[in-house]
A and B are shown apart, each in its own frame.
Chain A
């Protein structure tokens, strides 16, 4: 059932298009418990060739010439996907000149994160050492921040990492909130609501102008009656549903407003953040809204909210039938992605759903479900070999395959550890 003809595979690959140079080596990961995330879990073998999974099944034999990776007693999972990050776009948070995620101005739809990804950032090896194999590097700030790029977390150059340069448009839906402050903090008195409302409508009107601009540009461009405009060209991709929008909204009302706006615009979209989404879980399900949730390990939004509001959010959404994924919205903390999902488990999210939320769902939401997210023939070979459930802290990531390449789990932290662990004791002067 899992074996397809190689011709069929070749055809599939041709259709997907040669974007990223993938690993050329053939691997057979043998003897491990394979968690395909398609509903099947079995002890078997995964064969990886030319960057893709070419075979998987309980009775698959390693092809001749394949490098056999013994996974006996181990577990094989799809690699984890951090669906919104600044990986590659920042190095040291407090040092401005190392940050490339936030361009000036409120509307930068033509900018792509890929341009600024620093392939040798120390953050990437740290993240993948905990099983994160691919991530969306997303610009931040303003209203339309730019395009997020989907990258595999390995490559000598960004071209070797790149999966989809313009994978999604990042739009920060204007918030209608009279509260001052950010996160769990609020500062001083709330602003007069009429003022807040006016500002909100102005911001939405500006956003609408850009959407309308995209539509008109698409028409004019096809008629050849307009000079090329990179920003509107990018917007045309949004309005034509060519790329999805990652639309951020955290508060209950903001989420409602964002969904209604997106539906009115007839765009492909995923809501990101979603802190108070549980309050309208059924409504979101009715509207088929997909959500990339921010960290579960977060404080409740309001003083009187239940202590477990953020922990229980994902479980409530899942129970209502809302499709969810998780993201860290961070760079150095990207490695904690599995714990954001795990935290939701004792508070109502089924374990399998938690795994799907960090491995499978994100890719599907972005329209990339045919290329990644499960262990199936034809999928990009982003795989992790572990000694247990990767959502558990104590689980070790033993082997990594990213874009079909076997990648080391070494990183800056491990090498510093080894270096200082070897510091001779007798050198102490005191």
Chain B
């Protein structure tokens, strides 16, 4: 008689599993007596053994002819000759392969909101945050203290939907376990590990909770702060810092409550406090190298271990993941050309490479020794195995593949003590396949969940792929052979010693050296002058007819960043551009081709106090962190006037210049109080509770200490003057006014304050506050003693700042060297990097732009650009690179096509994230 180990009160109606089972996996058991009533779901008994099968234990050796013994849902023995207890059922496994049941390491199973589609990809760029249409103010966040986007108290385990039809579908695809996560919010809630058995009550599925905390970087369930990628990073950091403080306060109170004010209990912080104590990981979206780098940086501040998910471009970040020991959940939903796309579409090189190489990610991670697990990422769970086979064809070992589906997932989720391998003592989650799981044609015949067997129905029609024939195998081999990558980034040359000979050298600091030479050694300018001789071994560059100037410095740029404005709040000092630097922005290379070597990436002008800046060198091909200029003074963007006060929905204070000044003043009053709290704690020998870190006020306090420089967007003379006076009142300094189109009207006051000016050459009239803009501004302010630079605020304009500087010669009669300084030495001084760069002087970094004529004329163009002595742009070599890129693209398009035919939505999930319009 069959013993039912579990009673099933719900689930799919009477599937004749038992009958099918007899045919598929011979059970050495007496047949069911005809006379007895047919059980609703007959199954193998609580004690059984599978004998004679190939057993892939994952944790240990694979047994070619082994036995696994299960009792009451737990594996009790595994081995070649494991003893089968008396009375146990014996299942003949001859010809079968037994694996641990597969784990889908990231799903939304159990949660109706997740049924609409697949998992989201990675972090993505900025984005149209917030819903369209009328704003639901009940879900509006006015700042970091409002947390409609934090659902840390929700647990996937509690809210399980018993009627989710996906449990069975996932099980039929070979999954016995999933990591279930919630989707709503930036902090979506606690993930749970679920076994996909058929149970009476959903909670019986739970294996472990909380297993992890899943976060996202954009969310549409609320409006307001944060509404940008910039804000999302700051938000997450502040949330976890607050939880750390919350822990300090409660720990102190609980230790001795007597006489103390009771702290406020907080629903959102409580579970994070628990997370910090338990040390379970945060699941962080990150598809590619830059996003992985960000996840690592951010989680370090959050104080929790991090696991990245998405990771499809992990092939280019394997070393980073391995060295940082950050595990990755790799989405198996490999990107592919869109359906119903434009037949003449020209997919970008980055997109094509991702199509080609995403399936090589697992192999690359395996080779680098990085830890990774798989998640299906698709609405169809059967795709997971198909896509894993693709990864195997792309070089992943089969051992690596099964580990990523089982033990690695269990390890990452902290449940390797009970799941993930076939070992005595572990939960009896098993998969029985007709052969090797990663060979085409192999079928998953049954799975065991907690020792309960589920037969997998034979797929109908031709769904089960036959073993590849010769032609198909060839096609697959071709598909798995990736197109070689052209070198599209990085310097063209890195010579230790370079000697530029016989050029006109415009030093920007000490006049022009005619027929002069520059010696570059180890990235620095080692010598400059008219009568130098080349040291032996130096690479000689013939400068005849050429003009060399210091690399151009743009004091106001918005390239190379995935977000610019955090405009949901009027003070966003907590955010910083360094969190969102995009080192892959082709704008970097284009700027190099315009002679630019350093830029100041600024926050936008949406609010009176914006976020931190990033002063970077254009080391094209480096990671974000390597772009940052060592020792550059931190700065912050302020903004005055029209952009900060324009109509918003919902209304945001301020709406007048009076209000703008008020916002800035109030912020500094608050910052001063904040600093007092810390000073008192320090003065008291750091006794008592360490004060709360507030990233916004910390940044403002740095301004008051002179540790962070203010770069203020401004137009009208009156607002410039008001900020100067406010700064003097509050005890801070305005390092530069940006745009400052009416600066010429108050140049004396700016000079007296010591404020620099970074202006446009000749833009005007695009708004009222730009109506009095004049192209003489740079010359006139210089004449009145202001340190002036000309900036671009534009990815295009920055490519000919030399010409923009020349406009100051035309409009205002500036001399050549002073004009050149507007885009070299002066911005370097304004950014505090003039010790390193900005002029051609011995000892400075060899940041140089070489032109084929006088760069202050219109008919000169850049022929070479050096950063740190490395050749990052060369007109001739650029041609070769363009040709190589074109060849690679042609090969990629030949292999993948531009599109897939057939109906269906365009699903180009790797389209670059939306870019914000920059308001200047």
On whether the beta carbons of B744 and A299 are closer than 8 Å, the reply is: no
Which of B348, B767, B858 has a CB less than 8 Å from the CB of A391? B858
Q: Contact string, A328-352, partner B, CB cutoff 8 A, digits 1/0?
A: 0001110110010011011100010
User: Which of B586, B744, B763, B909 contacts A420 (CB under 8 A)?
Assistant: B744
Complex contact A298–B767 (CB within 8 A): no
| Residue positions of A touching B, CB distance < 8 A | 91-95, 122-123, 126, 177-178, 184-194, 196, 253, 297-300, 302-304, 306-308, 331-333, 335-336, 339, 342-343, 345-347, 351, 391-396, 412-414, 416-417, 420-421, 423, 425, 427-428, 430
Nearest chain A residue, comparing its CB with the CB of B344: A253
Question: Which of chain A's residues have a CB closer than 8 A to the CB of B342?
Answer: 177-178, 190, 193, 196
Report whether B345 and A178 are in contact in the complex, using a CB–CB cutoff of 8 Å. Answer: yes
What is the CA–CA distance of A336 and B797 in the complex, to the nearest angstrom?
13
Chain B interface size, under 10 / 10 to 19 / 20 to 34 / 35 or more: 35 or more
Q: Are B345 and A299 in contact (CB under 8 A)?
A: no
- Within the complex, the shortest CB–CB distance from B244 to chain A, in Å, comes to 37
Residues of B579-637 at the interface with A, using a CB-CB cut-off of 8 Å, are 586, 589-590, 593-594
Known contacts A189-B906, A421-B776; 17 additional CB pairs below 8 A are A123-B765, A126-B764, A188-B128, A190-B908, A193-B340, A299-B796, A303-B350, A306-B878, A307-B589, A346-B853, A391-B859, A413-B764, A413-B775, A423-B745, A428-B748, A430-B752, A430-B753
A-B contact pairs, 28 of them (CB 8 A): A94-B642, A95-B768, A123-B765, A184-B795, A187-B915, A189-B338, A189-B908, A189-B909, A190-B906, A193-B340, A299-B590, A300-B590, A304-B346, A304-B889, A306-B878, A307-B590, A307-B799, A345-B859, A346-B859, A394-B856, A394-B857, A413-B774, A413-B776, A417-B780, A420-B745, A420-B780, A425-B784, A430-B753
* Residues of B with C-beta under 8 A to A395: 810
Inter-subunit contact A94/B768 (CB<8 Å): yes
Residue of A126, A298, A304, A394 touching B806 (CB-CB under 8 A): A394
Tell me whether B765 and A331 are in contact (CB under 8 A).
yes
Chain B residues, CB < 8 A from A428: 748-749, 752
Provide the residues of chain B in CB contact with A298, threshold 8 Å: 796
- Taken together as a complex, chains A and B put the C-alpha atoms of A392 and B803 apart, in Å, by 10
Indicate if the CB atoms of B809 and A95 lie closer than 8 Å. Answer: no
Best-surrounded residue of A91, A194, A332, A395 (most CB of chain B within 10 A):
A332
**With A188-B914, A302-B346 as contacts: A393 and B810 at CB distance below 8 Å:** yes
- Name the A residues within 8 Å of B765 (CB-CB): 91-93, 122-123, 331-332
Most buried by B among A93, A122, A298, A351: A93
- Please name all residues of chain A whose beta carbon is closer than 8 Å to the beta carbon of B800 when the two chains form the complex: 297, 343
B661 CB, min distance to chain A CBs, angstroms: 18
Contacts of B752 in A (CB 8 A): 428, 430
Please report the C-alpha to C-alpha distance between residue A335 and residue B780 in the assembled complex, in whole angstroms.
20
B394 part of interface (Cβ distance < 8 Å): no
The answer to whether B807 has its CB under 8 Å from any CB of chain A is yes
Asked whether any CB of chain A lies closer than 8 Å to the CB of B812, the reply is yes
Minimum CB–CB distance from A98 to chain B (whole Å) comes to: 9
Asked if A190 contacts B911 (CB within 8 A), the reply is yes
Q: Does B766 contact A (CB under 8 A)?
A: yes
Say whether B763 contacts A332, CB under 8 Å: yes
Q: Which residues of A contact B858 (CB under 8 A)?
A: 339, 342-343, 345, 391-393
| Complex Cα spacing A191 to B860, Å | 41
Q: Nearest CB to that of A397 among chain B residues?
A: B810
Answer whether residue B667 sits at the interface, using C-beta atoms and an 8 A cutoff: no
> Residue B695 at the A interface, CB < 8 A?
no
- Does B852 sit within 8 A of A, measured CB to CB? yes
Looking at the complex, which one of B341, B766, B878 makes contact with A307 (CB distance below 8 Å)? B878
Chain A residues with CB under 8 Å of B811's CB are 413, 417
What separation, in Å, do the CA atoms of A331 and B586 have in the docked complex?
30
Q: Is the CB of B749 within 8 A of A430?
A: yes
B399 at the interface (CB under 8 A from A): no
Is B767's CB under 8 angstroms from A93's CB? Answer: yes
Closest residue of B by beta carbon distance from A425: B748
A-B residue pairs, 10 tightest by C-beta: A94-B767, A342-B858, A332-B765, A346-B861, A93-B766, A417-B776, A413-B774, A307-B593, A178-B342, A303-B348
